[in-house]
Amino acid sequence: MTERRPFDDVRDLAGSVPGRDTDLYADIMTRADCLGHDLCPLGSLAAPLARIASIQGQSSPNVTRPLVAVFTGSHATVADASARVADRVAALSSGRAAVRGAAQQAGAAFKVYEFGNDHPSDDFRQGPSLSERDCAGAIAFGMEVVAEGADVIVLGNAGYGSATAAAAIARGLYGGAADYWAGGQGDKAAVRIDTVAAGAQANAELLSDPLGVLRAFGGRDLAGTVGAILACAHQHIPVILDGYVVCAAAAVVHALNPDAVAHCIAGHATAEPAQRALLDRMDLDPVLDLDINIGDGTGGVFALGLLQSANSGLSSLDGG
């Protein structure tokens, strides 16, 4: 008997996600258009509401018990990553972040998931950021997000070095020039581009496999996000994706099985041009486009609030 490897279970999970209910999806879209005469009171918000209901397997979307889950980690590709991410966690924990106020307004629970903040993943310019076993372990930890009992989850990321890791993942999945995926302005952007290019050379043998790309560049926080997305798919929990980092993790899942992101909604298009490119490749349309340039869940919560309002509108159309 062939011995199973750590990633085998992950591949099985990605390949066995339950499908969404297409009849429920069609029903919501019909109900949202009940006025006829080309009058669409919910506009483009009908489609994400229909997606939520069809994933939940319910006649109407349920967005009354949301969770905002922010994943954090540190990456050795940047200096002082552990200290910098500690500052971010402190700000999130104390409420000194816009996402906290927005989550409270939406009636959402809020939780920070720390993925070895004091132990940065290895510098991927020298080889893989994680071993296969460590990567699989982080994926498993990320799956615990479903234990909170939420009916919809907004995923954000406040790791340090995570955006560079996301750019390297995007380049590893889709190819192209490093500056396309790791662009920006100033000296910081140039360093990021060079880091992604060096990482691609150092990990060339892993780039033919989506999970190889993940362990090459992702670190624990992005691996955990992959786990969260997969677990939510199996538990029929819709996911609202936030910024570039979270979308890069979703792209790994999509590369394993496009149907495994059928429960995902793009919360917003960020100020990061490459994030829109990821959404295009996953065929996801953002709910909002506000030029937000932070990926800690803020834009995703704004989208959640809008969808909650649209859901109340749908209920009124139904006579509720």
**Is residue 318 pLDDT above 90, yes or no?**
no
Interval 64-77: pLDDT, tens: 999 999 999 999 99
d(CA 83, CA 119): 11
Secondary structure (DSSP) of 134-184: HHHHHHHHHGGGGGG--SEEEEEE--BSHHHHHHHHHHHHH-S-HHHHS--
pLDDT at 316: 83
The confidence band for 2, taking pLDDT boundaries of 50, 70 and 90, is confident
Token pair recorded at residue 63: 């967005």
pLDDT at 262: 97
pLDDT at 33: 78
% pLDDT > 70, the chain: 96
Q: What is the mean pLDDT of residues 279-305?
A: 96
d(CA 174, CA 281): 9
Please state, rounded to an integer, the average pLDDT across all residues of the chain.
Answer: 94
Token pair recorded at residue 253: 């899942």
Q: What is the mean pLDDT of residues 33-52?
A: 81
d(CA 291, CA 72): 22
For 39-53, 75-89, 116-130, 211-225, which range has the lowest pLDDT when averaged over its residues?
A: 39-53
The confidence band for 220, taking pLDDT boundaries of 50, 70 and 90, is very high
Alpha helices in the chain (DSSP H): 8-15, 22-32, 46-56, 81-94, 98-105, 132-142, 162-174, 178-181, 186-202, 210-217, 219-234, 244-256, 273-281, 298-317
For 7-16, 28-37, 115-124, 226-235, which range has the lowest pLDDT when averaged over its residues?
A: 28-37
Q: In terms of pLDDT, which residue wins out, 273 or 152?
A: 152
Interval 77-122: pLDDT, tens: 999 999 999 999 999 999 999 999 999 999 999 999 999 999 999 9
Element (H, E) at 288: strand 288-289
pLDDT at 35: 61
d(CA 273, CA 181): 8
Closest to 98 measured CA to CA, from 305, 311, 238, 284:
305
**Is residue 37 pLDDT above 60, yes or no?**
no
Q: What is the mean pLDDT of residues 215-219?
A: 97
Token pair recorded at residue 274: 């490459």
Q: What is the mean pLDDT of residues 209-238?
A: 98
**pTM of the predicted model, to two decimals?**
0.96
pLDDT at 320: 58
The confidence band for 36, taking pLDDT boundaries of 50, 70 and 90, is low
**Is residue 144 pLDDT above 80, yes or no?**
yes
% pLDDT > 90, the chain: 86
Residue 263, helix vs strand vs coil: coil
Ordered domains of the chain (ranges, CATH) = 63-305 (3.40.50.10210)
Q: What is the mean pLDDT of residues 42-61?
A: 94
pLDDT at 315: 85
